[in-house]
Amino acid sequence: MDDNDKIALVATWLNEADGLLITAGAGMGVDSGLPDFLGPEGFWRAYPALRAHGMCFHDIASPAALKKSPTLGWSFYGHRLALYRATEPHEGFRILASWAARMTQGASCSQAT
């Protein structure tokens, strides 16, 4: 089976599917201009307060961190939310959304990091 046959087969599966699970890496957001989650220059750079406290994404992204430093934790998540709201998703997101909209049993999207 050549690549064109494989693409046609996947297109058939998508057209016949009634549900969709999408798993994507950080590249989906990075390609739209968002910083990545775990890279040393990702949200660390995008939210300098973490660097000022000697923390990285792993340090703040936990219930224990929110309990210990709620102001810093919620500020970090608020900053992150503002970045998402200000970002224009690239065309790939619109394509996935159009596929998901056709699924009678629903769709779910997860970003693997």
Mean pLDDT of the chain: 85
Rounded CA separation 29/21 (Å): 17
Contact assessment for residue 50 and residue 43, using Cβ atoms and an 8 Å cutoff: yes
Compare 69 and 43 and report the one with higher pLDDT. 69
Contact assessment for residue 38 and residue 59, using Cβ atoms and an 8 Å cutoff: no
Q: Domain spans of the chain?
A: 34-108
Residue 61 phi, psi dihedral angles, 5° rounding: -90, 65
Q: Dump pLDDT digits (tens) for 62-78.
A: 899 889 989 988 888 88
Confidence of residue 105 (pLDDT cuts 50, 70, 90): very high
Please enumerate in sequence order all residues whose Cβ is within 8 A of that of 75, keeping only pairs 6 or more positions apart, or say none: 49
Rounded CA separation 46/7 (Å): 38
